[in-house]
Structure 1
Amino acid sequence: MTDRRPLKQILRKEALARRDGLDPFWRVEAALEMAERAAEHVEFVPGTVVSGFWPIRTEVDVRPLMFALREKGARLCLPAILDKTTITFRELVRGAALVEMGFGTAGPGADAAVIDPEIMLVPLAAFDSRGHRIGYGAGFYDRAIAKLIEAGRSPRLIGVAFDCQQVEAVPDEPHDIVLSEILTESGLHRFSV
């Protein structure tokens, strides 16, 4: 089997360069619009656990979306980096202090409840029209999602990115998790998984 990591690294670098080139003020407006659009189209029952992520660098800021989903009754959580290979999800409640998690992220401290997300907002560097994603290379989300699936959970996976991060084709690897949906500024795109 051919090593696909070099091609993924190139696609990641190019997609992130396009994202980095977006106007910062436009990114803020796009994130707010995405939050409004997704809050209308992401259906769930109150009490559903939704994981978001603390945005780093030029990522889509999903905090407006998380708060819009909270207003609809979602319980929120954020990933907590436990070590170099593992993340877990800790409940995000109003007023609780956030701590630095590494990689420029923040999340609830060790005293927060650990909960399994039923809907996951998934960060990514690049994606294709089939729902395949390229992450940042550490594999945190692939392992966390695989662990949830092994435990009998089947979280709804919604990638979050800007349209400019789309690539023609992501090279498939056996460990890759395919997303069922991707939210961009042009809408919520659904895939057959």
Structure 2
Amino acid sequence: MTMTSDTPITPSPRKAVLRAEALARRDALDLDNRLEWDAEIETRALSLPVWKGSAGPVSAYWPMRSEADPRPILETLHERGLPLCLPAIVDKHMIFRRWAPYEPIVPGGFGTLVPAPAEPAVKPAILLVPLAAFDRRGYRIGYGKGYYDRALSALGPTVSIGIGYAAQEIDAVPDEPHDRRLDWVVTERETLRCG
């Protein structure tokens, strides 16, 4: 199935249950542990071979609720000279707008913060992707709207890196034809090469 940015996603009842369970585990993690684990994730993510020779741009997400925080990764990549961007939902499509640390961000819907609308859209080469749940094959469960799956399909060749905590791992994501497998998953415990 070729997925376009207009392809509707039919919510999976099984994924909804797995999402709720994984998010409950993530929400129950101690804040002090999460801060320590974010530093471990940063170290692991920055040691990936994908950065060698990459000119970017690199996309990440502004963390919400109890998500693993990719902002320290972005700050280091910015210091290395890589251009950055953050996703924004515009007319039910995910686009990516240029952004750099400490530049303004504005509310973007769904509890997210995004670059100002005046910032230019860019095409990321590497994406740091949030997770509700993941498995060792690189399949993920997001928040159920399919924005990342559609964006990854539309972008073409890119490197996708899931960022999350080990507690979010499940045995198997019930993957569907529209699901895009991640190339890597990085947690505080390990780095998984998936794609």
Query: TM over 0.5, yes or no?
Result: yes
Pairing 1:113–2:120 present: yes
Q: Match for residue 187 of structure 1?
A: 190
In the superposition, the TM-score normalised over structure 1's length comes to 0.90
Q: Tell me by how many angstroms 1:94 deviates.
A: 4.6
Indicate the SS of the match to 2:172. coil
Q: Hey, what's the Cα distance between the residues in 1 that align with 2:11 and 2:103?
A: 42
Q: Aligned letter for 1:96?
A: E
Aligned equivalent of 2:4: none
The secondary structure found in structure 2 opposite 1:90 is strand
1:58 has 2:66 as partner: yes
Equivalence for 2:6? none
C-alpha distance in structure 1 between counterparts of 2:11 and 2:135, whole Å: 15
Please say if 1:163 is aligned against 2:170: no
Look up the SS of the partner of 2:124 in the other structure: coil
1:94–1:167 CA distance, 2 compared to 1 (3 A): closer
Identity of aligned residues (%): 45
Separation in 2 of the partners of 1:95 and 1:25? 24
Q: Is 1:47 the counterpart of 2:55 in the alignment?
A: yes
Q: Provide structure 1 residue ranges, at least 5 long, that are not aligned to the other structure.
A: none
Distance 1:95 1:17 in 2: 31
Deviation sequence 1:108-157 (CA, Å, 0-9, x none): 111112111100001111011111111100111111111112xxxx1101
Give the secondary structure class of the aligned counterpart of 2:24: helix
Partners of 1:108 and 1:49 in 2: CA distance: 15
1:19 offset after TM fit, Å?
0.4
Aligned to 1:126: 133
How far off its partner does 1:99 sit? Answer: 0.9
Query: Deviating runs (4+, > 6 A) in structure 1?
Result: none
2:43 to 32, 36, 39: 36
Shift in Å at residue 46 of structure 1?
A: 5.5
Q: Distance in 1 between matches of 2:113 and 2:71?
A: 12
Tell whether the 8 Å contact from 2:74 to 2:101 is kept in structure 1 after alignment.
no
**Which whole-Å deviations, capped at 9, do the CAs of 1:45-81 have from their partners, x for residues lacking one?**
3532100100011000110111122222221100011
Where relative contact order (Cα < 8 A, 6+ residues apart) is larger, the structure is 2
Which piece of structure 1 moves more, 87-96 or 58-67? 87-96
CA RMSD in angstroms comes to: 1.6
Give the partner amino acid of 2:135: D
Is the partner of 1:157 in helix, strand or coil? strand
Q: Secondary structure at the match of 1:70?
A: helix
Deviation by residue 1:145-184 (Cα, 9 ceiling, x = unmatched): 11112xxxx1101011100101011112110000110010
Quote the Cα distance in structure 2 between the aligned partners of 1:187 and 1:69.
20
Gaps of 5+ in 2: 1-9
Rounded Cα–Cα distance in structure 1 between residues aligned with 2:74 and 2:101: 12
Structure 2 match to 1:135: 142
For 1:109, the aligned partner's letter is A
- After TM superposition, the score normalised by the length of structure 2 is 0.89
Pair 1:12 & 2:19 matched: yes
Q: Which residue of 2 aligns with 1:76?
A: 84
- Secondary structure class of the residue paired with 1:61: coil
How far the C-alpha of 1:95 sits from its partner, in A, is 4.8
